[in-house]
Amino acid sequence: MADTSLSSFEDPARHRRASDIIRRYSTNRADVRDVLLAGLDVSFAKTVLDLGCGFGFMTEALARRAAPDATFIGVDACEANGPAYVRRIAATGRSARFACQHIASRLDWPDHSFDLVIASYAMYFFPDVLPEAARVLSPDGVFFAVTHTENSCRELLGAAGLPAADPRLLGNIRRFSADNGRALLTPWFAEIERVDYQNQLVFGPAEYDDFLTYLRFKLPLLLPETDPDGEIPRPLADAIRAALSHQRSISFEKKDAAFRCRGPRCR
C-alpha cells in the first residue's frame, strides 16, 4: 500500500480552514452532512467508534442524532486532533474520548462492541480494517462511511495542472471510493444504501489564494513528498494563475457519497 502523508491533518486549524473553503466554494448550498445523514436513524446508538475521526466535522452532526447518553471513541493517528474532537462532541451533549492510534488491519475491541461505526473521509487510508469494522459492530448496528468519487480527484488534479490519470496520484482514492465502495463493502454487510452529494467547487480569479490554500492541504495526500507548510512549486502556481486569467474560473467536481450499511457479516 502506498505511503500516504498525514501531514495535512497534524494541524486541526489547517484542516478546518480547508473544510471552510470547501463549504464556501461549493455550488451545492446544502450542508453535505444534512444530505448524507438525511433519514438515517441513529437515535438508538449509545456506543460509537469513529475511525479516522479528525476534528469531528461529520461526527458532530451524527452525534446530535445519536442517543443523548451516547459515548464516542474517536481514533486518529494525529494526536493534535484529540482536544478539538472531544470539545466538538461534548458541545452536542454527548461524551467522547480520543485514542491516538495508527489504524491498519486490526481493531482492539471485542465483537459487537458498538452500535455505530463511522469512517468519514477516512476509509481509503485503512481499507484493510473493513472486516474488523463489521466484527466490532453490533448485529443491529450501522456502519457509516463517506468518501469521494474518483473523478473528483481526477478533476482536482487536472485543475492543478497535474496528470489527472496518473495511477500514483489516484492510488489513495482507489482504495475506497464512491465508485468501488459498494463492491468492497458487500462481503461484510448484508444491506448497503448509497446516498450521493452532487457538487462542484468554483474559484474565480480573486479567489486564487483560497484555491492555493485548498491545494496546499490536498497535495500531501496525493504527493506524499509535498509539505503543506511549503510553497506550491512555482511552475504549478504560475500555471494556475495563468489558467485563472484566461478561464476566469477554476471549477472541478467535488462529489461525495455515503454508504450506510447494516447486517454485519463476520469472518
Ligand X SMILES: C[S@@+](CC[C@H](N)C(=O)[O-])C[C@H]1O[C@@H](n2cnc3c(N)ncnc32)[C@H](O)[C@@H]1O
> What are the residues binding ligand X (CB under 6 A)?
6, 9, 52-54, 57-58, 76-78, 81, 102-103, 120-122, 125-126
User: Which of 76, 207 has the CB closer to ligand X?
Assistant: 76
Q: Which residue is nearest to ligand X (CB)?
A: 54
Q: Are β-strands 137-148 and 256-264 bridged in parallel, bridged antiparallel, or unpaired?
A: antiparallel
Minimum CB distance to ligand X, residue 58 (Å): 4
| AA letter at 96 | A
Minimum CB distance to ligand X, residue 6 (Å): 5
How far apart, in whole angstroms, are the C-alpha atoms of residue 114 and residue 139?
9
Cell of 68: 443523548
User: Which of 192, 258 has the CB closer to ligand X?
Assistant: 258
Minimum CB distance to ligand X, residue 139 (Å): 25
User: Which of 8, 47 has the CB closer to ligand X?
Assistant: 8
User: Which of 181, 244 has the CB closer to ligand X?
Assistant: 181
Minimum CB distance to ligand X, residue 52 (Å): 3
Minimum CB distance to ligand X, residue 75 (Å): 6
CA 186 from centre of chain: 20
Burial of 121 (0-12, 13-18, 19+ CB in 10 A): middle
User: Which of 102, 265 has the CB closer to ligand X?
Assistant: 102
Q: Are β-strands 200-203 and 114-120 bridged in parallel, bridged antiparallel, or unpaired?
A: unpaired
Burial of 2 (0-12, 13-18, 19+ CB in 10 A): exposed
Count of positions (residues) in the chain: 267
